[in-house]
Structure 1
Amino acid sequence: MLFMESYLCYCSVRLGVLLVAVLRIIINITLSVLFFVHGVHIFDGLIDLLENDSQYKNSNMVRKSIHWVHNSPDNVLVFLQCMCYAHKISALLGIFGAIRLHKWLVIPLALFEFVYFLGITIAHIVLMIMLKKQINLGLLIVLTLVGSFYCLFAGYNCVTCIAMFQVISLVKSPKYRQLYGEDPFHPIPLRRSHGSYDSVQQLHMLGVPDDTDIDEQKRLAKLGLWPSRKPQVISVIPVQTPAVSLKWWQQQALDKDDQLQDSAVLRNWQRGELLKGAAGEAERKNALNRRYAEAQQYGFRYKSRERF
């Protein structure tokens, strides 16, 4: 599995390696110029911090390093310059390897980036331990956060170089060449061939619901060749019962019953009192017609539900 598929801001891993190499060349040229101009005096501030710190001034490694800087400044400068030039050469090899897809030319840059990551992390931890007794808390927090992010960035650059080695190994593999062609910069898209066979064997596979190769589906989706599956449409429309055809006298009974309920004249009368009054006969007929119409409607709805 690849360590990463893209660099910062969705750049490709190949472009990420080129950016890391260019950045490393710029940093090493700057350090080389500083060593030429200031010499070993550039370490005077760090040496003062180490000698005045009670925790590190008696360390055997620290005492040997300070003694080497004071007694052999020329050897220190030669060693540092060699490291800078070696790092620049590895960066150039990484650029050439990323452009021409030679995986073994990326390994030196990955090794130097790993060593640089370890060195910058150890130096940051030691420096923060020494500075915590000499600066205020706010500045210490800011320096810790900035240094931590830079250490993470250095480690990220190292992982980018390793991921480029994995990518080149993948595109140079026989299986990749069999599926996508010999040219990794112009891969052959997977298409269905209709009886014609090219010089490069293509994969006769079409995106169907039975496919389980998730990586292949992602690759086809990026190329726009993965067919969009149409979702199954299930009708959820409720069953609508047709209206019951009523006789005119049944519909009139229902309308009169609604008018009777909403009438402003008869609102103070009870239902039973109206049926016993002078209009009782007509009201009784309307009530019978209304009950008959409601029974017809209920029976029709019940039969329709049984049918469905």
Structure 2
Amino acid sequence: MLFMESYLCYCSVRLGVLIVAGLSITQSLALSILLFVRGIHIFDGLIDLLENDSQYKSTFIIRKFINGIHDSPDNILICLQVMCYSHIVIAILGIVGAIKLRKWLLLPLAVVEFIYFLNITISHIVLMIVLKKQINLGLLIILTLVGSFYCLFAGYNCITCVAMFQIITLVKSNKYRQLYGEDPFDPIPLRRSHGSNNGVQQLRMLGTPEDTDIDEQKRLAKLGLWPPRQPQIISVIPMQTPAVNLKWWQLQAMDKDDKLQDSAVYRNWQRDELLRGVGGDAERKNAINRRYADLQLYQWH
């Protein structure tokens, strides 16, 4: 089952992967340029914020991060630059995989986007916990909402890459090729019949459920072609109902509203008494007459 069939505003998943890769390249280039300009000092504000927090300043991971920046800033800078350009290379491979339909070239991009989603989510949670003691409530709510939407968008981009991997697996399968042809960019709307002469493939429409499998039914249902619709016949001549000659006892049986007042049988008996007592025969005969009258009217209509 596919994770998604469209990306954002009804874009294709293939276009969505190209957008995700483009955003990844832009972010990596921006971070690389910022590291070239300011170096390791871009973390000064974050370090001051963590150092002044009593809850996280003694945490092992936080202390290791701060000590690593102070002790070996050059190694941290080189590692970040390598990560940026590796992300760019992986994004380019993802673009090639989406264009050429090579699913294994998309897998590294999906993994990197998933790691980025986890990092950005954990960083957002920790940062909001730290900032709640230093900023007012209104600004904290705004930052929480904006950061949460960005985390959801990062996860959505990761799912887009996984969905494209699933789509490529689907269109490369033998069953898909038998139904829609060898070219996934130009699928044929008809099924091929391999029993023709001289190797010429004969196309035939899918008409009945017996010669249609479930995948083809789903595809035709999206196009509004399944189930096959019969042309609607609209009569322009007013329908004339012929007069039906019914007996008086049949007309009386069809009268459901006034039968309790007009019928002599029901005059002195209740309905439950008729079903149990002497009037039961009259009640059953009346039901038979009613069904007969309804059947006669249905046959004429």
The TM tier, using the shorter chain, reads 0.7 to 0.9
SS of the residue corresponding to residue 106 of structure 1 reads: helix
Q: State which structure, 1 or 2, has the greater radius of gyration over its C-alpha atoms.
A: 1
Question: What amino acid is the match of 1:120?
Answer: I
Is 1:77 aligned to residue 92 of structure 2?
Answer: no
Corresponding residue number in structure 1 for 2:117: 117
Question: What amino acid is the match of 2:21?
Answer: A
Question: What amino acid is the match of 1:14?
Answer: R
Return the offset for 1:15: 0.7
Return the offset for 1:218: 3.1
Corresponding residue number in structure 2 for 1:161: 161
Return the offset for 1:227: 5.9
Q: Give the Cα separation in 2 of the matches to 1:191 and 1:52.
A: 69
Return the offset for 1:220: 2.2
Alpha carbons 1:170, 1:176 under 8 Å: kept: yes
Q: Give the Cα separation in 2 of the matches to 1:121 and 1:234.
A: 61
Corresponding residue number in structure 2 for 1:6: 6
Percent identical: 72
Q: Give the Cα separation in 2 of the matches to 1:60 and 1:200.
A: 72
Corresponding residue number in structure 2 for 1:255: none
Corresponding residue number in structure 2 for 1:281: none
Question: Deviations for 1:134-193, whole angstroms, at most 9, x for unmatched residues?
Answer: 111111111111100100000000011011111111111111122222111111222586
Corresponding residue number in structure 2 for 1:298: none
Question: Deviations for 1:28-74, whole angstroms, at most 9, x for unmatched residues?
Answer: 10010001101111011111111111110111111111000011110
Tell me which moved more, 216-225 or 51-60: 216-225
Distance 1:223 1:234, change over 3 A: closer
Distance 1:198 1:5, change over 3 A: farther
Tell me which moved more, 212-221 or 50-59: 212-221
Distance 1:74 1:187, change over 3 A: same
Alpha carbons 1:179, 1:203 under 8 Å: kept: no
Q: Give the Cα separation in 1 of the matches to 2:15 and 2:56.
A: 42
Distance 1:240 1:132, change over 3 A: farther
Alpha carbons 2:51, 2:57 under 8 Å: kept: yes
Distance 1:124 1:195, change over 3 A: same
Alpha carbons 1:178, 1:200 under 8 Å: kept: no
Q: Give the Cα separation in 1 of the matches to 2:31 and 2:119.
A: 15
Alpha carbons 2:179, 2:216 under 8 Å: kept: no
Distance 1:148 1:22, change over 3 A: same
Distance 1:65 1:238, change over 3 A: farther
> Under a length normalisation based on structure 1, what TM-score does the superposition of the two structures give?
0.71
Q: Give the Cα separation in 1 of the matches to 2:32 and 2:101.
A: 29
Alignment of 1:174-253 (within 5 A): 174-191=174-191, 196=196, 206-208=206-208, 213-222=213-222, 226=226, 228-230=228-230, 239=241, 241=243
Corresponding residue number in structure 2 for 1:129: 129
Alpha carbons 1:191, 1:204 under 8 Å: kept: yes
Corresponding residue number in structure 2 for 1:95: 95
Distance 1:192 1:101, change over 3 A: closer
Distance 1:122 1:58, change over 3 A: same
Alpha carbons 1:117, 1:155 under 8 Å: kept: yes
Distance 1:99 1:199, change over 3 A: farther
Alpha carbons 1:190, 1:204 under 8 Å: kept: yes
Corresponding residue number in structure 2 for 1:21: 21
Q: Give the Cα separation in 1 of the matches to 2:56 and 2:146.
A: 23
Return the offset for 1:224: 6.3
> Under a length normalisation based on structure 2, what TM-score does the superposition of the two structures give?
0.73
SS of the residue corresponding to residue 9 of structure 1 reads: coil
Distance 1:7 1:207, change over 3 A: farther
Alpha carbons 1:178, 1:202 under 8 Å: kept: no
Q: Give the Cα separation in 1 of the matches to 2:58 and 2:240.
A: 87
Alpha carbons 1:179, 1:201 under 8 Å: kept: no
Tell me which moved more, 223-232 or 129-138: 223-232
Alpha carbons 1:98, 1:164 under 8 Å: kept: yes
CA RMSD after TM alignment: 3.1
Q: Give the Cα separation in 1 of the matches to 2:69 and 2:138.
A: 33
Distance 1:211 1:31, change over 3 A: same
Return the offset for 1:207: 3.8
